[in-house]
Amino acid sequence: MHTHFALKQLGEINMFLGFQISRTTSGFFLHQEHYASKLLQEAGFMECKPCPTPATPAARHHQLPDEPFHDLTQYRRLADSLQYLTITRPDIAYATNQVCQHMQNPTNADFSQLKRFLRYIKGTQSHGLPIVPGDITLQTYADTDWAADISDRKSISGHCTFMGSNLISWSVKKQITVAKSSIEAEYRALSAATSEVIWLRRLASELQLVQLSPTVIHRDNISAIAIAKNPVFHARTKRIEIDYQFIRQHITTHNIQVQHIPSQDQIADILTKPFGQSRFELLCSKLTVRSHNA
């Protein structure tokens, strides 16, 4: 490249666009400790008491009407900053999604949830993702929490993809329409995960990491798997006909393979709902999120 471009050797990479890259004995570690520390300092939370989780299951219960939060600019600035932090922190993806849904008209209760979120960041500033060499096989976990949003009863979908033991992609999204059944919500989530898998398979192929076998998508909903594998189209699946045909096509062409996984082993659970400390920490470990000091 030196023969075609003017290059300057700056040594081994250690920071890029707010990301810190640390070399380990087994590979690399990506984190945003410096960015998280700066965020806490600007928010005035450097001396706060840490929390074990970014959100609690109680946060999903119906809340009484509350007063609007007085400083919209502060709320939006903090929410935007937390969204950037999710690039190396899948453990906060669900909580960030919830915080950002109230950016237009946040209440005092919403800001209280945001403050708890910042307290969790305080105790996990050094957390990030390891990158190690090894297996290049893709596998995906996808899940849905049906009618989870108590304000409009829309479902929340989440999926994450590993290449070998490395987590390389994840997503949390509230579905754009209300699903009248759990099957409908589950199948829409499966379609979104399939789209992500197809894109990643093509990207991997361009990088000479060709996937020789179908990418396994792990689901814990038996009915959704049965519909995906059954070539007979049922009247009750009419509302998801396009998703049905899209998934069937990629199963037939051996791009994907849908497999059942017990709910307790479903890693994507952490992307669709809040948990207590023990379950949350277990799912974080399965996502490979840890401190770079560990």
10-residue stretch averages of pLDDT, the chain, 294 residues long: 76 79 89 93 91 80 72 92 93 93 89 93 94 94 89 91 96 91 88 95 94 94 75 60 85 93 93 93 94 78
> In the structure encoding, which two tokens stand for residue 74, read together?
């502060």
Q: Which residues contact 242 (CB under 8 A, 6 or more apart)?
A: none
Does any domain span residue 12? no
Q: Are residues 141 and 235 in the same domain?
A: yes
> In the structure encoding, which two tokens stand for residue 157, read together?
């979908």
Q: Are 143 and 271 in contact (CB under 8 A)?
A: yes
pLDDT of the residue at 63:
59
Does any domain span residue 101? yes
pTM of the entire predicted model? 0.88
Task: Report helix, strand and coil shares of the chain as percent, to nearest 5.
Answer: 45, 20, 40
Q: Are 96 and 31 in contact (CB under 8 A)?
A: no
pLDDT of the residue at 294:
65
pLDDT of the residue at 245:
83
pLDDT of the residue at 256:
95
Does any domain span residue 2? no
Q: How many CB atoms within 10 Å of residue 42? A: 13
Position 212: which residue type?
A: L
Q: Are residues 195 and 242 in the same domain?
A: yes
Q: Are residues 80 and 98 in the same domain?
A: yes
pLDDT of the residue at 157:
94
Give me the domain span that covers residue 209: 134-261
pLDDT of the residue at 60:
56
Q: Which residues contact 116 (CB under 8 A, 6 or more apart)?
A: 51, 54, 55, 56
Q: Are residues 177 and 237 in the same domain?
A: yes
pLDDT of the residue at 180:
86
> In the structure encoding, which two tokens stand for residue 47, read together?
């001396």
Q: Are residues 153 and 227 in the same domain?
A: yes
pLDDT of the residue at 212:
92
Q: Looking at the DSSP assignment, which residues form a beta bridge with residue 16?
A: 19
CA-wise closest residue to 170 among 135, 151, 152, 143: 143
Q: Are residues 154 and 186 in the same domain?
A: yes
pLDDT of the residue at 151:
78
pLDDT of the residue at 199:
96
Does any domain span residue 220? yes
Does any domain span residue 30? yes
Of 105, 128, 151, the residue that ends a domain is: 128
Q: Are residues 112 and 64 in the same domain?
A: yes
